[in-house]
A and B are shown apart, each in its own frame.
Chain A
């Protein structure tokens, strides 16, 4: 008997779901510097969901913070089903900080490419944050980066070089220190660079000092001053045959670092899309955790590897994007 009933119920459910299918949803997107891979990932994901029919409204702040209140007004008038924001600035301005409370009433929001949602004041916790929003961060957690360094080889002592004027760098380095204080995975030596003085002499003496104290790998944080002057550090490390691990893509691509672990914007966009789809299917945004990706991309520069005669282990290489790309294309 029950066996005969089941298909009928199935059929009914099918009917109900096709009715639901006809209902289009509006997603209002506020971008910072035009469409990036992050938005492509976001929209691709949502468009690939057969049960969702979505209309995108795309607005662009063009790196001008003053335009944002206008978009918020527009959102309040249009009452879309969901709002998407790119980057820390836009997200904070549209959603408001946790302290200030929800800016958009009951319209849920998904943010994307916010490196530090807690630091920015969007939420105080990643789970059960109790706000009508959720989102994806492109940051690779520092602990994951440290594990990646452990995967590379038998290293014991990391040197980190950073611009003491950059607040973001200081924050990263002190986090790194506190993680390592607890885990004792590596020894860490911090070298604060004074950007007002010439860089090369500072670096030369620091590197010298580092080698003497037994440093066996360099860590290059997301520090714009150090990244733009990456060649200097790369030369010094190359002479010593030391590897540089980079927190960002740039130095690996340009040949100033051996290896890095990064999130692809497109995939972070996919992830934000996944969260948006959950909301559009009825899950309250406050029940959806704010997350980083679960798997990240290794990047390895084979020219650097050859120069320092240090090759990452097979498992890392098989999982890596290989640069320069001419090598990978073989």
Chain B
């Protein structure tokens, strides 16, 4: 008996996929956590510097209020010295006049020179200028008539911060790495357990084939065979041994058990690893923020003590001091983490308390408490107590919890894509090939051999099979006969197209949440066009070029082959996206977007072509569904991640990253796709004649005009154009939340489409569903008009998603059904022309939305839009009902 040694390559591949998604999720969420932490740290630092600045400004402006000019206020020198000494990281602090001449200065002027020059180029107040090693804070000093008399400029050394930052980053990477490592180990173990039966089966089959080759008796028999493939192997044994073979059933799909289980395991691990690493990181953050917090508390209590000193100096008795709580409250209103500021008397009583104490527990247990005694002329008067929110870091992490959720969701979808692909590429598809080859062999055709790309379990089984097939050929044609030609059965599957399509749509959609805002940032007036119309142009131009290039791109893709077409399309898209980030001029952007649209069109039509190549009429609908769900899951992931990134790394960098993803998509195709050369599918050529025929068909016209085009107008006009603008200009929401909201559309489509398809097929109420879908989009916009908030937007987008999910699929099948009487039109042609026509809606959407919004403002525009959708839906309903009646009557008359 031959024992075959397995190298567990299958599990390696799945392990790699697991690692990729875990690293994606944990790295991205760690980045989010870190940037939140950084924001908090920076805030603490700024708060502290602000206290020093405010204190100094107050004194200088007091002098201005007394009529002292800046250069006359000799006390400023002492004030600056005090400010300088309040923090060892302050390099220098100075007062400059309106002509940017330095009047007073303290500290190391040499280190402040570069910062001062930068600041002098455009003197600002309140903004922080960031240099490599230094932060430059500035504040206007205003006189009694609110004119700037000069500026207070402070230079803060950041080098300590950089060192600190590096330390924290290292710790974070350690923790994240640890968590990912443990998760991968756990994942591998579980996946191994899930895959064990499959691996066993592979091993049994391989052993059996080896035994067959060496003429031994195999233990695998008709009775012990448990899977379809094993049965095929048994049949091959019989064939090889010259026994008769029972009638074979038609081949069927092989399913590898544990497919969903592996996915579930991966997703569980993603959630656990992300949450655990966030929790560990929170600990690091809190520990690292503590010293900063302490410094800030000290700064505040020093200032309070000084103010009290002054009041005592001018003769106010300590117990007669009033109104400190007002000053404390003012401080709290700008620094929300300050939960308590008060004076505590020696008997423990709190006075001048600002902020609430909610429980009777000791203050130390309720807050991060800092105290500082007030001494006056040797007497201990009271303690300044400052309570800082111990949950401040948790609170700010909670703010990004939606972002983290979005990351987990995207990682889950990514895991789905990857695992689906790997299982399909390494197991399912080769198994189908194996079965096909055996089946052909049974029918006497030994010419086919398997394509062995990997030396894993399946690959070894394949090469063993190939050897056996060789033996069989030799038996038939005589040993050594060279005329025994072989043909490699190329494995390809519908599932292969999903990952690259997903990646590419992902990359293109990354700008979805902010694109109109990005356009606005480089807005240039165009005579005769309103601003909102100009902003809509790049989206409309993209849609137009995309739609116009589709037919040509399709033909070209048929000619050069899918692999080449996809790679070139993805490369063009990558270049276009990178350029979109690079340009800073409206017209350049317009050109670059049109360029990107060509690439996108090539990829889009090629992916569709791949679906056609790999399906026949029996499973094409299912294939298109695979294509669409890949498309929408890419869309929603891209929108969400793009928004999250744009908030943190800016628009340009997000575009660059998206270009990198397009590149990855091209690489993927280059790596895993084989070029079949010309497509075997007969190309559906469209002629003008076909257009003419269809345009005369009133069903086609009505369905396209009143259902398909309005749906596309809603998609590009409302979702792509109006929502990002509305979210950011009217609701002041971040890019992240825009991205998450847009995600709802893709989710609704992915989740509802399969359900609605089943329901539509079941009840055969296509017309009703089409009209219902249109109505729902209308209701969505009315809802937004009534609830003009982020909840309204979410509701509207969900409703539109559901409306499109239930309305768009039946459009096509109804159309083919109603036009099938016309002999001149094949289904392919009808679908092609229908798709081409509805793209008019894609182009018109942004322009229409922009014109409406410019004329009426967002809210009223939504209402008008809703009215437009209702009217369309009603026209559809009336037309379809009447025409059905007419048809029925016609049928009756004919009888």
* A binding-site residues for B, Cβ under 8 Å: 37, 41, 44, 48, 50, 153, 263-264, 266-267, 270-271, 274, 291, 293-297, 302, 305-306, 309, 311-319, 321-322, 327-328, 330
Contacts and interface: CB of A to CB of B under 8 A. Distances in A.
Contact of A266 (B67, B145, B322): B67
Nearest to B68: A266
B446 to A, nearest CB: 71
8 contacts: A41-B67, A264-B144, A294-B144, A295-B144, A297-B66, A313-B322, A318-B307, A330-B314
Interface string B326-342: 11000000000000000
Contacts of B324: 314
B311 interface: yes
B606 interface: no
Interface in B286-323: 307, 310-311, 313-317, 320-323
B65 interface: yes
B630 to A, nearest CB: 44
B315 A264 contact: no
Contact of B145 (A37, A270, A306, A313): A270
Contacts of A302: 314-316
B146 interface: yes
A295 B58 CA distance: 13
Contacts of B62: 318-319
Given A313-B322, A321-B66, A322-B314, 5 more contacts: A274-B145, A293-B144, A295-B144, A315-B327, A319-B65
B684 interface: no
A312 B324 CA distance: 11
Contacts of B321: 311, 314
A274 B99 CA distance: 16
Contacts of A294: 144-146
B326 A296 contact: no
Contacts of A330: 313-314
Which of B147, B320, B323 has its CB near the most chain A CB atoms (within 10 A)?
Answer: B323
Interface string B742-778: 0000000000000000000000000000000000000
Nearest to A44: B69
A295 B65 contact: yes
Per CB-CB distance, the 5 closest pairs between chain A and chain B, nearest first, are A313-B323, A266-B67, A267-B144, A293-B144, A313-B322
B contacts with A: majority SS: loop
B143 A317 contact: no
A198 to B, nearest CB: 36
A291 B316 contact: no
B146 to A, nearest CB: 5
Nearest to A313: B323
A311 B316 contact: yes
Interface of B: 58, 62, 65-67, 69, 99, 143-147, 307, 310-311, 313-317, 320-324, 326-327
A51 to B, nearest CB: 9
B310 A318 contact: yes
B737 to A, nearest CB: 36
B58 to A, nearest CB: 8
Contacts of B144: 263-264, 267, 270-271, 293-296
A297 B65 contact: yes
Given A50-B99, A314-B321, A318-B307, A267 B65 contact: yes
Contacts of B99: 50
Contact of A316 (B65, B69, B307, B323): B323
A37 B145 CA distance: 17
B145 A328 contact: no
A242 B144 CA distance: 30
Contacts of B311: 314, 317-318
Nearest to A328: B314
A315 B323 contact: yes
Contacts of B69: 44, 48
Contacts of A37: 67
A271 B65 CA distance: 12
B145 A264 contact: no
Contacts of A317: 310-311, 314, 316
Contacts of B58: 318
A126 B322 CA distance: 38
Contacts of B143: 267, 270, 295
A311 B326 contact: no
Nearest to A321: B66
A88 B317 CA distance: 44
Nearest to B310: A318
A314 B306 CA distance: 12
A44 B71 CA distance: 12
A247 to B, nearest CB: 18
Nearest to B324: A314
A148 B99 CA distance: 35
A321 B322 CA distance: 18
A314 B331 CA distance: 14
A301 to B, nearest CB: 11
Contacts of B326: 313-315
Contacts of A315: 323, 326-327
Contacts of A48: 69
A273 to B, nearest CB: 10
Contacts of A50: 99
A312 B307 CA distance: 14
Contacts of A328: 314
B451 to A, nearest CB: 56
A21 to B, nearest CB: 13
A274 B146 CA distance: 11
A309 B320 contact: yes
A274 B145 CA distance: 9
A321 B326 CA distance: 20
The residue in B62, B67, B146 that gathers the most chain A C-beta atoms within 10 A of its C-beta is B67
Contacts of B314: 302, 317, 322, 327-328, 330
Contacts of B327: 314-315
Contacts of B316: 302, 305, 311, 317
A309 B316 CA distance: 9
A13 B321 CA distance: 56
A274 B98 CA distance: 13
Contacts of A306: 315
A330 B310 CA distance: 9
Nearest to B328: A314
A24 B681 CA distance: 87
Nearest to A153: B322
B142 to A, nearest CB: 8
Nearest to B317: A311
Nearest to B61: A295
A17 to B, nearest CB: 13
Given A302-B314, A327-B314, A327-B315, A314 B323 contact: yes
Nearest to A306: B315
Contacts of A313: 322-323, 326
A271 B99 CA distance: 19
B146 A264 contact: no
